[in-house]
Chain A
Amino acid sequence: MSEIHEQQPITLTIDGKQVTVPKGVTVKQACEFNNIAIPALCYDPELTSLGSCRLCVVEVNGFKNLPASCVTTATEGMVIQTQSQAVVESRKMMLELLLADHPMDCLTCHKNGSCLLQDYAYQYQVKGELFAGNKHRYPIEDDNPFILRDLNKCIDCGKCVRVCSEVQGRHVLDYAYRGYEMKISTAMDYTLANSDCVFCGSCVAVCPTGALVEKNMVGKGRSFEVEKVKTTCPFCGVGCNFDLNVKDGRVIGVTSNPDSVVNGRHLCVKGRFGTDYIYSPERITTPLIKKDGEFVEATWDEALDLVANRLLAIKKESGNDSIGVLSSARCTNEENYLMQKWVRAVIGTNNVDHCART
């Protein structure tokens, strides 16, 4: 972007208003600089633009057809209309065509409320009743624990294809077959579980519809019901950020937070799908004291009094340096700070270390 801004500005007319934009931007960007929203299903600022969904069409004086604004460069003197009758009719028609082959099950769809197709159908009041055609009936792919893939809801926008190859560098997905049979597929049309997919879920993050969703979240909470809490991944040292999705005091899953400085919307399988260890049935949430070789449940007071008294006794008997403490590369800075402070100030030794080496 910075290069674009350094160049000469150009002047053009959008919806009757004269505006100035940097040279080299697309018509879509020119509109957006001026707070005019342009609908689009296949466009993503991070990916190459195809202009294939044709929802972003606008009317440009002197053009025979309605160009897709995401792949048309804005030029000096252009006169653009974003809301003319022709534009609106065209967009409605595209939506009708998409909905004609779409299962209308917004009632149970996990994407209800965060689906671009639903948003535009609502905005343009398109019901999908104009064309009564065949609807695909693909089996729903659920043979992996991470991603639920329902190609019946796929609108062939190709964002998953592009994000997989252009960002993740994986090339797992591509278009296959032709005409009505055309669909997004892995090589040999295997399921994701049997492909080279590494379940990073970037395709889920960019999918505008309910075709790709987080399997574990289905039925647990839709976007408008959850509170999103931005936090930092607890696994590796990259430090990706994401949103924990919370409903009724429970974390139901993870979604991307595009404002994450390190990773944007992208995560790996662990960050996106692995935080369910929080609710592992093996989690222990009561203090335990070992008696006769077995752990028995205890109150916090019992457990902490015991630890404090034993440590004080050992300290007195065998000296400060007879106690050693392991802090943790998994815990927060604040906890590590307090732990070493406690060891140094209260136990009175520098015997504190952590697994810095793994």
Chain B
Amino acid sequence: MTNSFEDLENTKLIFLIGSNPTEAHPILGVKMKKAIRNGAKLIVIDPRKTEMAEIADLWLPIQPGTDIALLNGLMHVILNEDIYDHAFVGERTENIQELKETVEKYTPELVAEMTGIEVELIYQAARLYAQTRDASICYTLGITEHVVGTMNVMSIANLAMLTGHLGRENVGVNPLRGQNNVQGACDMGALPDVFPGYQKVFKEEARKRLETTWNVSLSDRVGLTIPEMMDSAIAGNLKAMMIMGEDPVLTDPDANHVHKALESLDFLVVQDLFINETAKLADVFLPAASFAEKDGTFTNSERRVQRVRKAIEPLGNAKTDWTIITELSRRMGYPMKYQNVEEVFNEMTTVNPIYAGMDYQRIDKKGLQWPVPTKEHSGTRVLHVGQFTKGKGTFKGIEHLPPAEVPDKEYPYLLSTGRRIYHYNITTQYSPTLKEYQPEELAMVNPEDASHLQLKDGDKIKVASRRGEIIVATEITDRVPKGMVWMAFHHKESPTNVLTNGAYDPVSQTGEYKVAAVKVEKYN
């Protein structure tokens, strides 16, 4: 997030696109509702009538996969009516001409046709966003989980720059990060192209520094992303994998493809708490400790680094993930000597500039928001104040591209996926309490489709895509539009990702979870 949770409580307009915070980020939902009670306006862009959509001032029910068209349409109106932030555009950005040329074509009328949103709503949303000084954009996976995910994000940046909604309090472009430490895992360099602190592996300076600290020589070649690893395994080039704390068979798109990839490996090690769907395929399973059994830190969506504290000893014979790694490393001829994780953290801060000024004492009570370059620095609530990291913000003209797969005669329904409040990706199913309350997935089906398919609430359906099929019970609700089936992916009994499309964004390599074509029939 460019900004902080506190800003979301104080903002005057929340522009929520592809995000369902009351279920996926409940406490953020609470904060947004507080802002709304204090008078903030709310624009929601979502194909589903979510809880936030119900309380929104403007709800734009969008046809999935048409976000760029809509964003261009909004900018078309903003430019046409000359309600953009001239000062911001002039001082802090470049290349406005390219944007103007691109969005020119996206008239509200055309956009209405492409997105299924009424023309009048497009005008209203554009004016409201552009003319509210403190307006904050929040988005989640509804934006990124498309083949055009990166371009969606760039379009959002265009909109925020055009209206000067960046670089100060109570505004910003705020991706709400899904998992507890997805921010931290990225910050730590658990990515194929960057070292800790987003330093590119092919840049000599950073590599040299790490080589000295770690006393090894390092590869300058960008590594494989998850989808590339899967393809490479099937092609026979990738021979072995180690997977820590993830269940790609359940959570990655096109599960059958992932399954096949992992089966092609010569050697698979899984380090986890449970024999999850991925672990079933492993040659060796290493039992890890839960968050309650270890010390460390997590970094949340607002870049706040906070302590995880050990409450109990690891259960049974389990070991913390960090101990397992150090023991493996020693056996492979590279001893890692740490007395505790605090020493690991301290080493990390010496090679990660955005964490440089942190230590356990400083983050003990309230955490710190990176970047924290020095011990004196008190953390960063708002990014890009005065200047962007790379100097001027560059507008990019971005054209609409359709999803990789759209409904057709054979697969007439659109499947979209997401999260539910009672579950969290892959761990909560092991909570006896949560499992008792919500034991199974209920696919959402629109009443009109239900009557066409002769379904009653709770009836089972067979959902099939080009990649696989599953059986799932249904909930009939007008929260989903006609023609759409919506499912979460938490339950291994109804593994939604058997259906989803493995097509992915060429830059971020994020799978297109939000749009797949499926056929649906009643299952008896």
Instruction: Please give the residue numbers on chain A whose beta carbons come within 8 Å of chain B beta carbons, in ascending order.
Output: 144-146, 167-169, 198-200, 216, 227, 229-241, 244, 246, 249-251, 259, 261-263, 266-270, 273-280, 282-290, 295, 300, 303-308, 310-312, 314, 317-318, 320-342, 344-346, 348-358
The answer to whether A353 and B229 touch (CB under 8 A), given A145-B436, A236-B24, A334-B322, is yes
Q: Assess whether B251 is in contact with A355, with CB atoms less than 8 Å apart.
A: yes
Q: Assess whether B245 is in contact with A236, with CB atoms less than 8 Å apart.
A: no
- Nearest B residue to A240 via CB reads B27
Per the bound structure, the CA–CA distance linking A319 and B40 in Å amounts to 57
B48 at the interface (CB under 8 A from A): no
Q: Assess whether A274 is in contact with B428, with CB atoms less than 8 Å apart.
A: yes
**A327 surroundings in chain B (CB, below 8 A):** 185, 188, 190, 244-245
Per the bound structure, the CA–CA distance linking A198 and B283 in Å amounts to 41
Please give the distance in Å from B83's CB to the nearest CB on chain A: 31
Which listed residue, A237, A267, A310, touches B179 by the CB 8 Å rule?
A237
Q: Assess whether A352 is in contact with B223, with CB atoms less than 8 Å apart.
A: yes
Per the bound structure, the CA–CA distance linking A283 and B240 in Å amounts to 25
Q: Assess whether B239 is in contact with A146, with CB atoms less than 8 Å apart.
A: no
**B239 surroundings in chain A (CB, below 8 A):** 314, 317-318, 322-323
**A167 surroundings in chain B (CB, below 8 A):** 30, 34
- Nearest A residue to B181 via CB reads A329
**A239 surroundings in chain B (CB, below 8 A):** 180, 298-302, 304, 306, 367
Instruction: Please give the residue numbers on chain B whose beta carbons come within 8 Å of chain A beta carbons, in ascending order.
Output: 5, 24-28, 30, 33-34, 37, 141, 144-145, 176-193, 195-196, 201, 210, 214, 216, 218-219, 221-226, 229, 232-233, 237-246, 248, 251-252, 266-267, 269, 272-275, 282-287, 290-302, 304-322, 324-329, 331-334, 336, 341, 344-345, 347-348, 365-367, 421-425, 427-428, 430-434, 436-437, 508-511, 513
Per the bound structure, the CA–CA distance linking A181 and B185 in Å amounts to 55
Q: Assess whether B179 is in contact with A351, with CB atoms less than 8 Å apart.
A: no
Please give the distance in Å from B416's CB to the nearest CB on chain A: 14
Q: Assess whether B310 is in contact with A339, with CB atoms less than 8 Å apart.
A: no
* 13 CB-based A-B contacts, threshold 8 Å: A237-B25, A239-B299, A239-B300, A274-B433, A300-B319, A307-B269, A314-B266, A318-B239, A337-B188, A337-B189, A342-B334, A346-B334, A356-B191
Q: Assess whether B244 is in contact with A261, with CB atoms less than 8 Å apart.
A: no
The answer to whether A352 and B192 touch (CB under 8 A), given A251-B312, A335-B325, is yes
Per the bound structure, the CA–CA distance linking A357 and B239 in Å amounts to 24
Please give the distance in Å from A319's CB to the nearest CB on chain B: 9
The answer to whether A355 and B431 touch (CB under 8 A), given A249-B313, A334-B322, is no
Q: Assess whether A322 is in contact with B237, with CB atoms less than 8 Å apart.
A: yes
Q: Assess whether A282 is in contact with B430, with CB atoms less than 8 Å apart.
A: yes
Q: Assess whether A237 is in contact with B433, with CB atoms less than 8 Å apart.
A: no
**A314 surroundings in chain B (CB, below 8 A):** 239-240, 266-267
Per the bound structure, the CA–CA distance linking A118 and B351 in Å amounts to 54
**A333 surroundings in chain B (CB, below 8 A):** 181, 184-185, 187-188, 296-299, 305, 345, 348
Please give the distance in Å from A78's CB to the nearest CB on chain B: 31
Q: Assess whether A322 is in contact with B304, with CB atoms less than 8 Å apart.
A: no
Please give the distance in Å from A85's CB to the nearest CB on chain B: 43
Please give the distance in Å from A230's CB to the nearest CB on chain B: 6
The answer to whether A169 and B37 touch (CB under 8 A), given A287-B285, A331-B321, is yes
Q: Assess whether B430 is in contact with A169, with CB atoms less than 8 Å apart.
A: no
Q: Assess whether A276 is in contact with B283, with CB atoms less than 8 Å apart.
A: no
Please give the distance in Å from A65's CB to the nearest CB on chain B: 33
Please give the distance in Å from A315's CB to the nearest CB on chain B: 8
Q: Assess whether B348 is in contact with A337, with CB atoms less than 8 Å apart.
A: yes
Which listed residue, A169, A232, A261, A285, touches B298 by the CB 8 Å rule?
A232
**A273 surroundings in chain B (CB, below 8 A):** 431, 433-434
- Nearest B residue to A332 via CB reads B296
Q: Assess whether B316 is in contact with A238, with CB atoms less than 8 Å apart.
A: no
Extra pairs beyond A238-B28, A276-B431, A335-B325 (11, CB < 8 Å): A238-B25, A244-B311, A251-B311, A284-B287, A310-B283, A322-B237, A350-B222, A351-B223, A352-B192, A355-B248, A357-B508
**A357 surroundings in chain B (CB, below 8 A):** 141, 144-145, 226, 508-511
Per the bound structure, the CA–CA distance linking A267 and B295 in Å amounts to 21
Which listed residue, A286, A310, A312, A321, touches B316 by the CB 8 Å rule?
A286
**B33 surroundings in chain A (CB, below 8 A):** 168-169
Please give the distance in Å from A261's CB to the nearest CB on chain B: 4
The answer to whether A329 and B219 touch (CB under 8 A), given A285-B317, A303-B286, is no
**A240 surroundings in chain B (CB, below 8 A):** 27
- Nearest A residue to B310 via CB reads A229
Q: Assess whether B284 is in contact with A280, with CB atoms less than 8 Å apart.
A: no
Q: Assess whether B296 is in contact with A328, with CB atoms less than 8 Å apart.
A: no
Per the bound structure, the CA–CA distance linking A276 and B30 in Å amounts to 24
The answer to whether A250 and B188 touch (CB under 8 A), given A169-B37, A334-B297, is no
Which listed residue, A169, A231, A288, touches B284 by the CB 8 Å rule?
A288
Which listed residue, A234, A275, A278, A320, touches B219 by the CB 8 Å rule?
A320
Per the bound structure, the CA–CA distance linking A251 and B293 in Å amounts to 10
**B332 surroundings in chain A (CB, below 8 A):** 308, 311-312, 346
**A289 surroundings in chain B (CB, below 8 A):** 283-285
Question: Top 9 closest A-B pairs, CB basis?
Answer: A239-B300, A285-B316, A332-B296, A350-B223, A328-B245, A268-B26, A237-B177, A327-B190, A308-B331
Please give the distance in Å from B62's CB to the nearest CB on chain A: 21
Per the bound structure, the CA–CA distance linking A336 and B181 in Å amounts to 10
Which listed residue, A230, A231, A329, touches B291 by the CB 8 Å rule?
A231
Q: Assess whether B229 is in contact with A351, with CB atoms less than 8 Å apart.
A: yes
Most chain B CB inside 10 Å of its own CB: which residue of A241, A322, A350? A350
**A352 surroundings in chain B (CB, below 8 A):** 189-192, 223
Q: Assess whether B300 is in contact with A237, with CB atoms less than 8 Å apart.
A: yes
**A317 surroundings in chain B (CB, below 8 A):** 239
Q: Assess whether B26 is in contact with A330, with CB atoms less than 8 Å apart.
A: no
**B298 surroundings in chain A (CB, below 8 A):** 232, 234, 239, 332-333
Q: Assess whether A275 is in contact with B292, with CB atoms less than 8 Å apart.
A: yes
Which listed residue, B291, B318, B423, touches A285 by the CB 8 Å rule?
B318
Per the bound structure, the CA–CA distance linking A333 and B238 in Å amounts to 26
Per the bound structure, the CA–CA distance linking A351 and B26 in Å amounts to 34
Q: Assess whether B367 is in contact with A238, with CB atoms less than 8 Å apart.
A: no
Which listed residue, B214, B296, B315, B437, touches A278 by the CB 8 Å rule?
B315
Q: Assess whether B287 is in contact with A237, with CB atoms less than 8 Å apart.
A: no
- Nearest B residue to A169 via CB reads B33
Per the bound structure, the CA–CA distance linking A231 and B124 in Å amounts to 44
Q: Assess whether B309 is in contact with A230, with CB atoms less than 8 Å apart.
A: yes
Q: Assess whether B190 is in contact with A336, with CB atoms less than 8 Å apart.
A: yes
The answer to whether A144 and B223 touch (CB under 8 A), given A326-B248, A350-B192, is no
